[in-house]
Amino acid sequence: MRLGMVIDLKRCIGCYGCQIACKSENGTRPGTTYARVVKREWGEFPNVKKLSIPVLCMHCNDPPCVDVCPTGASQKRDEDGVVFIDREACVGCRACMMGCPYGARYFQDETRDYFEVGENAYEQAAYSAHERGVVEKCDFCRSRLAQGEEPACSANCMCKARIFGDLDDPDSEVRRLIDEHGGFQLNPELGTDPSVYYLPPER
Amino acid sequence: MPKHEAIDQASQNDNEDVWIQSACGMCYNQCGIRGHRVDGTLIKIEGNPDNPIGRGRLCARGLAGIQLLYDPHRIDYPLRRTNPEKGIGVDPKWERISWDDALDEITERLATIKENDPRGLYFSGTVICLAPLSHALATFLPAFGTPNSFVSDGHQCGNAEHILARTLHGSVTTNPDVEHCDYLLLFGCQAGLGTYYALTTMAQDVADARDRGMKLVVVDPFLSSAAEKADEWVPIKPGSDGALACAILNLLVNEYRIFDADYLLEHADGPYLLTEDGWYARDPGSNRPLVWDIDAGKPRPFDDPELGQVALEGAYQVEGQTCRTVFETLKGTVAKWTPEAASEVTTIPPDMIRKIARDFGEAACIERTIEIDGRELPHRPAAALYFKGAHGHDNAWPTSMAIELLNEVVGASNVPGGLLGTTPVCDGHPDTGFPRWKPGANEDGLLDAGMLLYNDPYGVVPGWPPPPTDTELPNLRDLIGWPITTCFTPAALTDKENFSFDHKPELLLNYGSNLLMSAARPEVTFEAFKDTFVVSFNLHSDETAEALSDIVLPDTSYMERLDPLPNFTRHHHPVGLGNWGHTIRQPLVEPLHERRHFTEVLLELGQRLGLTETMNLLTNNLYGLVAPHALDPERTYSWREISDQAYRSWFGDEHGLDWFETNGVMRWPKKVEEVFWKPFVHARAPLYNEWLKRAGEQVDEIVEKKGIKGVDTSGFFPLPDWRPCRAHRAREGYDMQAIYYRVPWHTFSMTYENPWLDEISRGEPYSYFICINTKTARAKNITDGDPIEVEGADGGTIRGRARLTEGVHPEVLAVANNGGHWAKGMPFARGKGVFFNQLLPMDLEHSDLVSLSMDCDARVRVTRMAEGA
C-alpha cells in the first residue's frame, strides 16, 4: 500500500480551508503550516490567469529528508509509505530541511506565540503534543489514519479538491483520477517520486 | 469516545471527552459544526457531516473559530467608560463593573426613555448574529416601542437582491441550482467559489458542476477567487454591470429572440397591458390587470376563465389608449442598450457581450424538460447571479433588476438548472407539517412571499412592501420600508439640511456590530451618536466601543450560547434537492468569565422593564407557537424553556430541546415541489414593478410636503435600465475607482483579529495590499510594495502598500474586505489590511434609495508616498 493524495487544481478555489483544517487538527504553532496554498499569476491583462496550488509534504517514495537525517528520526513507513519524524529521535539539526526540495518542514524554535500575552487555553492543550527544538511536518495525520480516518485537510476540503487514497490500488479513486486526467507530480525531475499528484486546472 | 456523543452534563470535569453538535457563527451562513471538548477545553471544531448545511465541510473561518473563543483580548467583564471624552482613537479608560451595576444603570435609563418617548432607544445590530438579532428586532424592540433599529452592515448587505428575491422568488436570498446547470454567469459574486450564501455546501456543488462541464463566466473588475476559476473572466468597469445586463437582455429579446414565451405568459406579468402612463391597464369592474385576448380581439382580466390565446408582444388599443404588454415595453426599454453602447461604459468589447448573450441564451435550452422523481419539469440549465460587486453602487436597483431579468426572460427561475429562491416553500416535517410557508398570489396575480420577512419597522410581518408613510424615522423605514435592512440612520441623523426629527437618540443599544468601521466613514457615525448614551454587547473592545460606548457588556461568542434556530431554517439554507436541516446552536463550552448571551440579557431587561407579557406574545408570533406550546403571557420563561417550546411546537413533544442537544439537527428530505416550486404555484413574477412606480410618487409627495430636497426618486425604475453611479462622475484629477472585494477567509472586518486567518493573509500575496494594474502603476511611477496613498474625490484617504498585478482592471484599485483596525482592544488586528470604508461618505447622494444601498466604490487618485511616511 502506498498512501497518497490527489489535488485537483480545477476544483480548488484557493480558500485556505486546508491550511486551517490542518492547523486545527494538529494544533501547530505560529508559522508552521503543514498544509498551505501557493498563489501564482501569469499573462497580461485581460488575458491573465491566477492559480491556487495547495502544497504539503509530498511523502516522496524516495525521500531525501530520510537519507540526510543523521539520527534516523525521519523515516518512511514500510506499510504505507507515510514519511514522518520520530520526535524522540530528532535532535533539531535541520539537515532534513536542507534536504527537502519542497519546503515542507518546520523547525520549532523557542520564540513565537500568536498573542503577545502568551498561550491561551486552547494553545496550552494543543501545544502539549509538540516539542520545541525539533523539526515537524505533515504526516498525513497519522493519528487519524490509525482510527481509519483520512487526513484532516482532505476530509474537510469544501471543494473536494483533495482526495486521499492508495496509489498502489488500481481501483482506487486517486489512481483513477491520475490516469483519467493526466495527474502529475511537482518537480518530477528531482527524482523523489512524490506521493502527491496534481490534476491540471483546465481539461 | 465516539463522535456524535451527547453533551456530557458533567461537562467541565476531568477525563471528559465529548463531541457536541452546533452551528457556526463566523459569518451569516450558520453551517453545521461539531466541537470536540476535552477536560473542559474546546480543542477542535469541524464540519458536522450529519448537517445538510455544509455536509461536514467548513471554510477557513469556521475552522478558526476556536481562536475567537480563546482570544485573550475578548471582553470578559462589563466595562464602564471613565474618560468623559469620546472620540475616534480616544482611550475610554475602561473600568470593570459588575453585571448588577451595569443592568441597574441601563434599566434606569431605559425606564426613563420609555416613559418620555420610547423612540429615544436606538438599536444597531449585525447580520452575522442572525438569530439573536432577529429575536431582538421581533420581540424586545417592539415591546419597548421603538422602531429605530438599523443594521450597521446594512449597506454591505444584499438589499437590492433581497427585494428582488422577494418579488421574483418569494424569498430573501437566491442561489443557482448548479446540479442541473450548464452555464453560470456571475456578476460581482462568488457563489460557491469564495463567499456568498451557503458557501460550504455550494462550494461542493459548484466544484461538482464545473467538473461535469458547467461553464463559469465571472464578471468582476478584480480577478477574484471566483474569477480565478472562470472559463471566462470578464473584467468590467465597476458599477456598470447593469449596462452589460441590459445589453444581454436586449440581444436576447430583440436580436436573437431567445426567450421563454410560455413562462412569460403563465408565470410572469409579461402579457399584462400597460397604459401610456405606465400603469397596469385594469378592468374597470374588477380592477384586475388586463391582458390582450387574441382570439376575442379584446382585453380581458388576466384570470378570466374565458381567456383564449393571450398576446405576449405588441401594442393594443384599450379605452382609447395604446397599451403595450409588459414584455413589449421591456423590449423597448432595453433596445437602446446595444453591445456597442454597453461597451462604452463597461469597457467590455461588443463581441464579448454578444458571445455571453448567445452562450447564455443557448445554454438555457428553452422548451427542454427534465424528469425528477417522476415529475416532468422545465429544465433551464443557465443562471445569472450577482452580489455586492454588481449592486454595491447607487444604481443597485436597476442593475439588480436587469441581471434578475436575464433569468426571467429565459424562464430559468425556480425550475431545475436556473436561479432558485432560498427555501420559499416549506411543507414542514412529514410528521407535524411544521414549519411551513408557501408563496401565493395577490389580487393582481403577482407572487406574494409566504415566509416571514422583516419589512416592518416594528418587527416581522409577511406580505407586500408597505407603502411610504412619513419621514419620522432616521432609518427611513417609514419612507422606504421595503429593503430588509438599512444602515441609513447615522446619515439621516447628521443630515440637518434634509431631515429633522421630533426625537433624538437617547440610548443606543448596539449588538455585535462595529458600526463606526462597518457603516462608512467613521466620522459620520461618531457625529450621529456622540451625545448618545451607548451600550454595546461586544466580543472585543472595538473601534465603536472605544470611540462611543459608555458601557460595554461581554457578549458570548457563537460557541458559548444557545440559539434554537440559528438560521430559522430559512436564511442561507442550501438550495436544490437534498435535505432540510433544522439545526441547534448550543454551547460548546459554558460561557467563559462573565460573558452572557445577549438574548438572555434582553429577557432580563424585559422583565425589569415590565415587558415580559408583550415579549411573550411577540415570541409566539415570531416562532409561530400555538397551544399547547404558546408562551403564557403571564409567565416568565428562561431562554432554555422558550427554546424547548419552539422545538416541541414544530416537531412534537418527543423532539424538545433535549432531543436537539443530543441529536443536533433534524433532517428530512426536500420535495421536488418545494425546491422547483414555480410550475406548482400559480403566482406571477413581476417583471414590471408597478408597486415601485407608485411608491416613487408617494415618496415624492411626502418629501415635497416636508420640504426635503435630497430625496431623488428618479432611480425608481419599474423596468431595467442603467445610469452611472456616483463614482463614475468625472472629477478632475481623480482618474481611478477604488473598490473592495471579499476573500474566502475573512468576514467583513471582524476576523482580522483571528491569528490563524491573519496568518493566511500574511502568506497570501494580495489581501493586505492595495492591488493596482501593473501598467497603470508603472505610468504613475509606482513599483510593487511601494507605500501609496489613495485620496477620494468625495473625501477620505487610505494608505497601504501597492501590489502590482495583471489581475485587476486598469482603472481600478482593489482592496480586500475592510481591515486596518486601530482599536486598542483588538491589538492583533491593529494595522492589518486596509481600511476601505474611510473612502465612503454616507448620505443621500451616495445611496440607492430604492434599496437603501450605498455606493461602495469611490472615485479616487493614487500617489506614491515617500518610504517611511
| Residue A117 three-state SS | coil
Domain region containing A131: 3-199
Tell me if B455 sits within 8 A of B691, measured CB to CB. Answer: no
Q: Do B63 and A24 touch (CB under 8 A)?
A: yes
B869 pLDDT tier (thresholds 50, 70, 90) = low
Which region among A148-157, B329-338, B560-569 has the lowest average model confidence (pLDDT)?
B560-569
Which grid cell is B800? Answer: 497601504
Name residues whose C-beta falls within 8 Å of residue A176's C-beta, 6 or more positions apart in sequence: none
User: Locate cell 429575536: which residue?
Assistant: B135
Distance from C-alpha of B479 to C-alpha of B494, rounded to nearest angstrom: 17
Q: Is B193–A13 a contact, with Cβ atoms under 8 angstroms apart? A: yes
**What's residue B182's pLDDT?**
98
3-class secondary structure, B731: strand
For the segment B32-86, what is each residue's pLDDT rounded down to a tens digit? 999 999 999 999 999 999 999 999 999 999 999 999 999 999 999 999 999 999 9
Q: Give CA–CA dist A130/A151, Å, rounded.
A: 18
Distance of CA B648 to the CA centre of its chain: 30
AA letter at A90: C
Q: Taking residues B436-450, what's their average pLDDT?
A: 92
- Whether the ω angle into residue B505 lies within 30 degrees of 0, i.e. cis, is no
Question: Which cell goes with A109?
Answer: 524554535
Cell 472595538 identifies what position?
B542
Whether B207 and A37 lie within 8 Å, measured CB to CB: no
- Nearest residue on chain A to B744, judged by CA atoms? A15
pLDDT class of B457 with cuts at 50, 70, 90:
very low
- pLDDT for res B10: 39
**Residue showing cell 415595453:** B329
CA atoms within 13 A on the CB side of B579: 14
Whether the upstream peptide bond of residue B435 has omega within 30° of 0, thus cis, is yes
| Cβ atoms of B644 and B659 closer than 8 Å | no
Residue B535 contacts residue B550 (beta carbons within 8 Å): yes
B460 touches chain A (CB under 8 A): no
Can you say whether residue B362 is alpha, beta or left, with left for phi > 0 and alpha for psi between -120 and 50 degrees?
Answer: alpha
Neighbours of B9 (CB within 10 A): 7
Write out pLDDT tens, residues B335-381. 999 999 999 999 999 999 999 999 999 999 999 999 999 999 999 99
Q: Does residue B484 or residue B382 have the better pLDDT?
A: B382
Give the span between the Cα atoms of B133 and B599, in whole angstroms.
9
Residue B145 grid coordinates: 416601542
Q: Is B2 exposed, middle or buried (0-12, 13-18, 19+ CB in 10 A)?
A: exposed
Report yes or no: B807 and B734 within 8 Å, Cβ to Cβ: no
Q: Do B807 and A13 touch (CB under 8 A)?
A: no
| Pick from A35-49, B140-154, B378-392, B707-721: least confident | B140-154
ipTM for the whole complex: 0.98
The pLDDT of residue B453? 63
Report pLDDT for B459: 47
CA–CA separation, A105 vs A65, rounded Å? 9
Q: What is the pLDDT of residue B389?
A: 95
Does A24 reach chain B within 8 Å, measured CB to CB?
yes
- B347 and A CB contact within 8 Å: no
Burial class (CB in 10 A: 0-12, 13-18, 19+), B652: middle
Rounded to an integer, what distance in angstroms lies between the CA atom of residue B126 and that of residue B518? 10
Establish if A200 touches chain B: CB-CB under 8 angstroms.
Answer: no
How would you class B352 by CB atoms within 10 Å of its CB: exposed for 0-12, middle for 13-18, buried for 19 or more?
A: middle
- Grid cell at residue A14: 484557493
- pLDDT at B487 exceeding the cut of 90: no
Bond from prior residue into A200 cis (ω within 30 degrees of 0) = no
At B624 the pLDDT is 86
How distant is the Cα of A70 from the closest Cα of chain B, in angstroms? 32
What is the residue-averaged pLDDT of chain B?
Answer: 94
CA-based nearest residue in chain B for residue A35: B760
Q: Tell me if B47 and A156 make a contact (CB, 8 A cut-off).
A: yes
The whole-angstrom separation of Cα B757 and Cα B107 is 39
Q: Is B299 helix (H, G, I), strand (E, B) or coil?
A: strand
Provide the grid cell at A26.
494538529
B339 SS3 class: helix
Report, as an integer, the average pLDDT of B743-760.
96
List A residues 142-171 in contact with B (Cβ-Cβ < 8 A): 152, 155-161
CB within 8 Å of B94: residues ≥ 6 apart:
B79, B80, B81, B82, B541, B552
Domains of chain B: 177-422 (3.40.228.10), 726-864 (2.40.40.20)
pLDDT at B461 over 60: no
Contact of A35 with A19, CB cutoff 8 Å: yes
According to the model, what pLDDT value does residue A110 have? 78
Confidence (pLDDT) at B484: 82
pLDDT in tens, B184-224: 999 999 999 999 999 999 999 999 999 999 999 999 999 99
pLDDT of residue B151: 87
Using an 8 Å CB-CB cutoff, list chain A residues near B70. 120-123
Q: Give the gap in angstroms from C-alpha A77 to the nearest C-alpha of chain B.
A: 27
Q: Which residues 775-804 in chain B show a CB within 8 A of chain A?
A: 775
Considering Cα of B293, then B299, then B300, then B301, what sign does the dihedral take? positive
Q: With an 8 Å Cβ cutoff, is B63 touching chain A?
A: yes
Whichever domain contains A151, its CATH number is 3.30.70.20
Residue-wise DSSP of B92-116? --EEE--HHHHHHHHHHHHHHHHHH
Residue B455 scores a pLDDT above 70:
no
User: Nearest CA to CA, how far is B766 from chain A (Å)?
Assistant: 10
Determine the pLDDT at residue B867.
Answer: 76
How does DSSP assign B318-331, residue by residue? ETTEEEEEHHHHHH
Look at residue B244 and tell me whether its pLDDT is greater than 80.
Answer: yes
Cell digits of residue A65:
529528508
What is the C-alpha to C-alpha distance for residues B745 and B26, in angstroms, rounded to an integer? Answer: 10
pLDDT tens sequence for chain A (203 residues): 999 999 999 999 999 999 999 999 999 999 999 999 999 999 999 999 999 999 999 999 999 999 999 999 999 999 999 999 999 999 999 999 999 999 999 999 977 789 999 999 999 999 988 999 999 999 999 999 999 999 999 999 999 999 999 999 999 999 999 999 999 999 999 999 999 999 999 98
Question: Which stretch of A174-183, B44-53, B597-606, B621-630 has the lowest confidence by average pLDDT?
Answer: B621-630
Taking each helix axis from N to C end, the angle separating B326-334 and B241-250, rounded to the nearest 10 degrees, works out to 120
A107-136 residues touching B, CB cutoff 8 A: 114-118, 120-123, 125-126
Q: How many domains does chain A have?
A: 1
In chain B, the percentage of residues whose pLDDT exceeds 90 is: 90
Whether the per-residue pLDDT at B734 is higher than 80: the answer is yes
Number of Cβ within 10 Å of residue A169's Cβ equals 13
pLDDT of residue B570: 79
Taking only the tens place, the pLDDT of each residue in B5-41 is 434 333 445 689 999 999 999 999 999 999 999 999 9
B632 part of contact set with chain A, CB < 8 Å: no
Q: What percent of chain B is helix, strand and coil (3-state, nearest 5)?
A: 30, 20, 45
pLDDT at position B572 is: 85
Tell me the three cell numbers of residue A172: 482506487
